Amino acid sequence: MLSHHDRTELEKIERSLELSDPDLAAALRDGRRPKSAALRNTLLIFFDITAVTLLVLGLVLPDPGVTLCGILALTGTVWTHVARHRL
């Protein structure tokens, strides 16, 4: 059992966390893990590099299918980056 002082201190910490980082506070309250930004950024960079590689290969090789795939992949990655920054 916590003392009155300990409970009030924990409530202060909880309020401070709610104000500073509501996503983390909700994740802790619900018992789920917060989303990893590092993993998401790594995957986006991987897809960016893949899209640019496809586009360059499509321009170097005489294959319009690879060029089209590169253009579509690059369009998708640009759309993803724009959508991320709007949130």
- How many alpha carbons lie under 13 Å from residue 85 in its C-beta half-sphere? 5
pTM as predicted: 0.56
Angle 77-63-47 (CA atoms, 0-180°, nearest 5)?
20
pLDDT tens readout for residues 23-75: 778 877 887 766 677 788 888 899 999 999 999 998 898 889 999 998 999 99
Distance CA 51, CA 46 (A): 9
pLDDT tens readout for residues 31-40: 776 667 778 8
**Which position has the token pair 């294959």?**
63
